[in-house]
């Protein structure tokens, strides 16, 4: 599915990294949800899991943020495509529990943008799914 | 045998980047043509993020892939193309025969280019599910 979006490459990068991931790492649920359409689809492609719509995504985020003391995403390799309204990133994710157990993931996200917000988020994880 | 997969239609700079990626997946992995690895720079790195292995050169990855997947078909391509960053992030489906069973995987590949050749690739693949 291809959607229409007026965002240029810099705006797509801003939405994906400085708004979306900044909010995830700050455990800011409202900040994350502000990047999404109400009927957004969030799929973890490597685990065949789909969270459909903001209420389901909110529940997933609440559990995710509660499960880990710190969440860090870094070392982004960006790919922004304004012609198709898509942006992708490969990156390192480090999630650490309250007792200090850290899990390192090397993931790829592909976002499809409709208008100025995400309509679809496709996540490919290198390890166990933490977005359940 | 000529692969049956439909290739993506595109123009200009996008065309060359997409064609190189699809040549690797369709002609290299599906048809077993080692010349498809010619799309890679000599010191290219290919990381299987799911398996955690690095293959250099990519011909080794093609051989290893075909040892596991007897007959494969990569298709349903969706590409995120960043001509300024010389990168393509591709989402695709893999159907293959493993141990006599037809399996499906949802995959992503993040390819980075220099001078028209792939210098780095990160591949993610879901757990295989049986096609019934």
The residue of chain B with its CA nearest to that of A46 is B126
Quote the pLDDT of residue A70. Answer: 98
Sign of CA dihedral A100, A95, A48, B113: negative
Quote the pLDDT of residue A25. Answer: 98
Whether B28 has a pLDDT exceeding 80, the answer reads: yes
Distance from CA of B14 to the nearest CA of A (A): 10
Q: What kind and span of H or E run contains B75?
A: strand B70-82
- CB of B54 within 8 Å of a chain A CB? The answer is no
DSSP secondary structure string, A40-79? EEEEEGGGTEEEESHHHHHHHHHHHHHH-SEEEEEEEEEE
pLDDT of B59-79, one tens digit each? Answer: 888 888 888 888 999 999 999
Distance from CA of B58 to the nearest CA of A (A): 20
Is the bond preceding residue B57 a cis peptide, omega within 30 degrees? yes
* A101: phi then psi, degrees, rounded to nearest 5: -80, 120
Quote the pLDDT of residue B4. Answer: 59
Whether B1 has a pLDDT exceeding 70, the answer reads: no
Q: Is the pTM of the predicted complex or chain greater than 0.90?
A: yes
Q: Digits of tens for pLDDT over chain A (132 positions)?
A: 678 899 999 999 999 999 999 999 999 999 999 999 999 999 999 999 999 999 999 999 999 999 999 999 999 999 999 999 999 999 999 999 999 999 999 999 999 999 999 999 999 999 999 999
Whether residue A46 and residue B126 make contact (CB cut-off 8 A), yes or no, is yes
User: Taking Cα atoms as reference points, which of A116, A114, A109, A115 lies closest to residue A45?
Assistant: A109
Work out the mean pLDDT of chain B and round it to a whole number: 88
- Structural tokens at position B14: 């996008």
Quote the pLDDT of residue B53. Answer: 74
- CB of A66 within 8 Å of a chain B CB? The answer is no
The residue of chain B with its CA nearest to that of A44 is B126
**Interface probe, candidates B18, B48, B82, B128, chain A, greatest A C-beta count within 10 A:** B82
Whether residue B50 and residue A47 make contact (CB cut-off 8 A), yes or no, is no
């Amino acid at each position: 599915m291809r959607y229409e979006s007026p965002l240029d490459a810099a705006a797509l990068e801003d939405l994906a990294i400085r708004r979306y991931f900044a909010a995830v790492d700050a455990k800011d649920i409202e900040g994350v949800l502000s990047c999404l359409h109400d009927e957004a689809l969030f799929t973890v492609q490597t685990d065949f899991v789909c969270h459909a719509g903001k209420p389901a995504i909110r529940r997933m985020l609440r559990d995710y943020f509660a499960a880990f003391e710190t969440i860090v995403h870094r070392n982004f390799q960006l790919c922004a495509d304004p012609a198709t309204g898509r942006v992708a990133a490969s990156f390192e994710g480090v999630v650490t529990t309250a007792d200090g157990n850290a899990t390192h993931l090397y993931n790829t996200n592909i976002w499809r943008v409709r208008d100025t917000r995400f309509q679809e988020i496709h996540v490919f994880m290198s390890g166990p799914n933490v977005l359940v | 045998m000529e692969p049956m997969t439909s290739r993506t239609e595109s123009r200009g700079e996008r065309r060359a980047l997409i064609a190189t990626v699809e040549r690797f997946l369709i002609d290299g992995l599906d048809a077993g043509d080692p010349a498809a690895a010619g799309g890679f720079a000599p010191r290219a790195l290919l990381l299987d993020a799911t398996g955690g292995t690095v293959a250099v050169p990519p011909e080794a990855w093609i051989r290893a892939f075909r040892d596991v997947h007897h007959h494969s078909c990569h298709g349903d391509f969706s590409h995120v193309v960043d001509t300024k960053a010389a990168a393509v992030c591709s989402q695709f489906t893999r159907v293959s025969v493993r141990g006599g069973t037809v399996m499906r995987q949802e995959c992503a590949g993040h390819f980075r280019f220099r001078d028209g050749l792939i210098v780095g690739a990160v591949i993610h693949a879901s757990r295989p599910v049986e096609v019934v």
